[in-house]
Every structure is written in structure tokens, then in C-alpha cells.
Amino acid sequence: MIPDLVVLGAAGFGRETLDVVAAVNRAQPTWNLLGVVDDAPSPANLERLAALGVRHLGSLAEALALTGPLHFVVAIGAPSVRERLAGRCEAAGWQPATLVHPSATVGALTKLGAGSVVCAGVAVSTNVTLGRHVHLNPNATIGHDTSCADFVSVNPGAIVSGDCRISTRCLVGAGAVVLQGLSIGPDTVVGAAACLTKNAPSGVVVTGVPGRWA
């Protein structure tokens, strides 16, 4: 019997994650998708779930009452929200699922942490380490020997070069570039289309080319 899966989040990344689940299941039946958990889905997102034929299972509090050996992914882009919700699910005994779209490429010696979601067209190079609950959005690229710590988000089309250290809860915006060998401190955001050319401290917002912060 294939394991039950719950996806947290009915918004954009939630439904992109449903696409990953569907593609994985087309390649090989892997997950029994029970539905989507969301405390306050918008009417538009409820309609979109219905169009996909996917059930809304109610709030997280309601869903946590479900029994059985459930697997989950938190498909919510904001790293700190993801961390909080993953903690609640794990405290309830749910197991994080790791989802990799069949069109993604993943190099040798790469480690993918539990709860991570790797979307269509992502290129993960060799000897990369992804922590837990990392999101790699469509067409992101992660260079050789780089590590992305727990709860990192790399948004669509961003390029993190080789030998980088991306700390916990960082978000690398759409189309941004992080040059090789750089480190980014925890909770920093690299804005969309920025180019980071030197190490960034924790908790800053980097914008522009070259990337600058206050």
C-alpha cells in the first residue's frame, strides 16, 4: 500500500507541489494524496483545488486529528511559517515527505533533507546538501558542493553557484544570482533579480546588481 500524503497550503506553491506529486505518481505510483490542509484558503484557491479534484481537508488543527502514519509537505513559501507548521506536524508524529519532480536533475553525492520539494526543471549539481523542508522552485539551479540549510527557499530561476553556504530560513528570490563560494547568514532575503557578490550577514534584504543591503 502506498503511503498517505497531506500537502499544507492551497496557494500558489501548494498547487505547484500538487503538480510535483502528480508527476511523481505518473512516473511511479508513490503517494496516496489525501488532500490539502489550509486554515484559511481563499475562495479562488478552493475553486482551483476543486478543479484539480483535490479535497480541502480543513484547518491544520482539524487535519492533525486524522489518524494513521501520515506523510506531509509544507508547501508554503515563507520560511519561518514553514518552520512553525512543520514543527506542529512533526510534533504530532507526521513524517515529512521528500518530493522531487521527475524532470529535475540531481547530481551525485547530493543529500536531500526530509520535507524538501524539488520542482520541475530544477538542476541540483554534484555533492549538494539540502537540509530539511527546503524548497527549490521551478528552474532553480544549485551549484556543486553548495549547502542549503533547513527551511531555505530558492525561488524560480534563481542561480546559487558552487561552494555556497545558504543558512537556515534564507530566501533567494526569483532570478537572483549568488556568486560562487559565498555565505549567507540566517533569515536573509536575496531580492528578485539581485546579484550577490560578497558574503551577506543574517537578517538583511539584499537588492540590486551588485547586491546591497542596509
Residue 101-140 contact track with ligand COA, rule CB under 6 A, x = bound: ------------------------------------x---
Spatial distance between the Cα atoms of 128 and 125, rounded to a whole number of angstroms: 6
- Cell triple for 191: 531580492
Q: Which is nearer to ligand COA, 31 or 168 (CB)?
A: 168
Q: Give the binding range for ligand COA (CB under 6 A) out of 37-45, 90-98, 128-136, 200-208.
A: 200-208
Site for ligand COA in 138-167 (CB under 6 A): 155-156
Instruction: Tell me the residue number closest to ligand COA, measured at CB.
Output: 191
Is 207 one of the binding residues for ligand COA (CB under 6 A)?
yes
For residue 39, give the nearest of 4, 2, 74 by alpha carbon: 74
What is the edge-to-edge ordering of all strands in the sheet holding 105-106?
105-106, 123-124, 141-142, 159-160, 177-178, 195-196
Applying CB under 6 A, among 173, 177, 178, 196 the residue interacting with ligand COA is: 173
Shortest Cβ distance from residue 210 to ligand COA (Å)?
12
Spatial distance between the Cα atoms of 178 and 35, rounded to a whole number of angstroms: 36
Spatial distance between the Cα atoms of 115 and 141, rounded to a whole number of angstroms: 19
Is 208 one of the binding residues for ligand COA (CB under 6 A)?
yes
91, 109 Cβ separation under 8 angstroms: no
Q: Which is nearer to ligand COA, 34 or 179 (CB)?
A: 179
120, 20 Cβ separation under 8 angstroms: yes
Residues that bind ligand COA (CB under 6 A): 137, 155-156, 173-174, 189, 191-194, 205, 207-208
